[in-house]
Structure 1
Amino acid sequence: MNDVLNERDEAKGKTLKFIVQLVIGAGMGALGMMATLRLVRARIEIFDHIDHLLALGVGLVLGLMGLFVALGAAMPKAGAKLLNVEDEAELRYQQRDLLWSAIGMILLASMPVILALSGVAGFLSAQTALIGLGLAVGALTLLSILAKIRSDELDKAATMETGAYSFYASFLIFGGWAALAHLGLVAPFTMLGFFAGTLSIWLAMLFIMLGKRGMLST
């Protein structure tokens, strides 16, 4: 009887933790999006380009995820209550890997944001955007190499599965769209739309893979 009650209490605790994570994430996302849109409102023409808004949106989501993980890893006591870990000890054990992941997520987030703020938006010149993208790609490549060295077989399998899901989904969506555009049935997508779209698909497949493997619950 006590075991059943303990399991119920543990399940309630996990549910409450998930709700807190969801509320905090949604709140941060809403505030971040409002601040971003207020910032770019000075260049109102950006709102006429859905690909720029999509790039800003996915960049904001990735950036907030990275910031959320970084803050949690930097403050293990508070982070253990917010991040998807069993307890503070586990968080301290994974602290370095989580910080690296957070940095990588923020670097990845910077790429669609840089592209969205260049071109028609006019906030960044082509040269500045290219330099920023080059630095982000170089740093991400280095972090990927380090992560591959430290990752175990489960992490490698999860990465490969996410990549495979992302490829097939991207091919289905953008391949189908390209075929319809070739037939004159829909408007062709832009290169920025393709970049932001594939990144959005990868993010969606990442969450699907994590849920499938039961990695979204502690």
Structure 2
Amino acid sequence: MTTEANAPDERKKRLKKTVFATGLGGVAGFVVAFTFMQVVDAGSLGELGTSREIAALVSLVYLLTAGAVGFGVMAPNKGAAFLNVEDAEELEEQKSMLGLASVAFGASGLALFLLALSAPVGPVPVEVAGIGFALCMALATWLSFKSYRQQDELMKSIGQEAAATGYYLVLLFGGGWAVLTHFGLAPAASALDWLSLFWAMMLLASFIVTARKGMMTMR
């Protein structure tokens, strides 16, 4: 238990961890996005266009997040330095649940990434992208259910609230876009735009719910 005597040291430790984790995430995200856009600008992936580039960038957030959690699970001592856990022991205790969740999250990101790079514009053949998408989503769904069964009541509640919040965000932004399109005030969204919206809003919903629950504060 934190006493009044060591409270300042504890706050300082949490602040340092927050700064480190935020900085690490920001740098990693910038490097990944910058590298991807450099590859796109070089024409190595074909003329993707805005919709595909946005879809790919959203998917990379999923893959980067999954990679960070997966690394933390595989190397708890190092993962505890930037993940929001008390210590490496907590990561060890949640290894199975977090491992399943990270792979499921990564599979979801990979599914969208395959669509973003699919033919006829991208380099991935339609058959490969379609089969890959189906397999990735099946894997993500299966592992998500397995991870869900290992979660405590708090985590289950957060997941359910995030799903509900994601629904309302999609209704707000997607529905608003549809209304503007109906009135001729905005271009119609493509099928891939809608998929990117679903993926992005669920990610945003997760951040909103965890922040509202006070779980964004580093421990």
Equivalent in the alignment of 1:56: 56
Equivalent in the alignment of 1:215: 215
1:45 offset after TM fit, Å? Answer: 2.2
Equivalent in the alignment of 2:47: 45
| Higher mean C-alpha displacement, 194-203 vs 113-122 | 113-122
Is 2:80–2:88's contact at 8 Å kept on the other side of the alignment?
yes
1:74 offset after TM fit, Å? Answer: 0.6
Q: TM-score, normalised by structure 2?
A: 0.92
1:121 offset after TM fit, Å? Answer: 3.1
1:120 offset after TM fit, Å? Answer: 4.8
Structure 2, unaligned runs of 5 or more = none
1:199 offset after TM fit, Å? Answer: 1.0
1:38 offset after TM fit, Å? Answer: 2.7
1:179 offset after TM fit, Å? Answer: 1.3
1:86 partner letter? E
Question: Equivalent pairs: percent with the same residue?
Answer: 29
Equivalent in the alignment of 1:202: 202
Alpha-carbon distance between aligned partners in 2 of 1:143 and 1:44, rounded to the nearest angstrom: 33
Equivalent in the alignment of 2:33: 33
Is 1:118–1:125's contact at 8 Å kept on the other side of the alignment?
yes
Equivalent in the alignment of 1:82: 82
Equivalent in the alignment of 1:183: 183
Q: Structure 1: which 4+ aligned runs deviate by more than 4 Å? A: none
- Secondary structure of 1:185 counterpart: coil
More helix as a share of residues: 1
Alpha-carbon distance between aligned partners in 2 of 1:120 and 1:158, rounded to the nearest angstrom: 40
Structural mapping, 1:97-116, within 5 Å: 97-116=97-116
Deviations 1:8-40 (A, max 9, x none): 111111111011111111111111112222333
Deviations 1:101-154 (A, max 9, x none): 111111111012111101453211111101101110111121122123222221
Equivalent in the alignment of 1:148: 148
Is 2:169–2:201's contact at 8 Å kept on the other side of the alignment?
yes
Deviations 1:68-103 (A, max 9, x none): 111111111111112110012111111221211111
Equivalent in the alignment of 1:122: 122
Alpha-carbon distance between aligned partners in 1 of 2:108 and 2:193, rounded to the nearest angstrom: 16
Aligned-residue Cα RMSD (Å) equals 1.6
Alpha-carbon distance between aligned partners in 2 of 1:205 and 1:141, rounded to the nearest angstrom: 18
Alpha-carbon distance between aligned partners in 1 of 2:76 and 2:172, rounded to the nearest angstrom: 41
Is 1:54–1:197's contact at 8 Å kept on the other side of the alignment?
no
Across the two proteins, how many residue pairs are aligned to each other? Answer: 215
Structure 1, unaligned runs of 5 or more = none
Alpha-carbon distance between aligned partners in 2 of 1:113 and 1:209, rounded to the nearest angstrom: 25
- Secondary structure of 2:47 counterpart: helix
Alpha-carbon distance between aligned partners in 2 of 1:30 and 1:172, rounded to the nearest angstrom: 28
2:171 partner letter? F
Alpha-carbon distance between aligned partners in 2 of 1:173 and 1:31, rounded to the nearest angstrom: 28
Equivalent in the alignment of 2:12: 12
Alpha-carbon distance between aligned partners in 1 of 2:177 and 2:119, rounded to the nearest angstrom: 24
- Secondary structure of 2:193 counterpart: helix
Deviations 1:135-178 (A, max 9, x none): 10111121122123222221221111101111111111111111
- Secondary structure of 1:82 counterpart: coil
Alpha-carbon distance between aligned partners in 1 of 2:197 and 2:188, rounded to the nearest angstrom: 13
